[in-house]
């Protein structure tokens, strides 16, 4: 299951084992990845999907990290109802969301900052 910028495997790996099994359905996974890709395009003001083939490996890895982090957040937050989670699992899930969000925003900062862009495109 793949989008352009990341695979569902990366999303599930980051989301962890307590993710609701419904999310592991291909339709849900692709929808979350597509939404993450679209959001990344808009927030960074560049269509990375259209430009993907011409990007260097460093940029592709930053895009993969950003997209899989955001998609993992979507997967985790799908079911935080507490009905199937212990309180510790919920705290762990919230911690994962916080870490993934921070790293997502770090990636966006890199993609937006032209000094970083010049460096990684010249690498």
pLDDT tens digits along 38-93:
999 999 888 999 989 988 888 899 999 999 999 999 999 987 775 566 778 888 88
Q: Shortest CA distance to 40 belongs to which of 90, 102, 104?
A: 104
Q: Nearest to residue 78, comparing CAs of 93, 63, 88?
A: 93
Q: Are 65 and 101 in contact (CB under 8 A)?
A: no
């Amino acid at each position: 299951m793949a989008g352009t910028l990341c695979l569902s495997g990366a999303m599930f790996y980051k989301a962890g084992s307590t993710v609701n099994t419904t999310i592991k359905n291909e339709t849900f996974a692709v929808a979350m990845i597509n939404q993450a890709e679209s959001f990344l395009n808009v927030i960074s003001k560049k269509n990375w999907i259209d430009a993907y083939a011409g990007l260097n490996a460093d940029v592709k890895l930053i895009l993969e990290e950003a997209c899989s982090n955001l998609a993992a957040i979507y997967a985790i937050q799908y079911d935080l109802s507490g009905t199937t989670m212990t309180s510790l699992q919920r705290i762990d899930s919230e911690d994962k969301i916080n870490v993934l969000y921070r790293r997502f925003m770090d990636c966006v900062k890199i993609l937006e900052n032209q000094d970083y862009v010049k460096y990684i495109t010249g690498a």
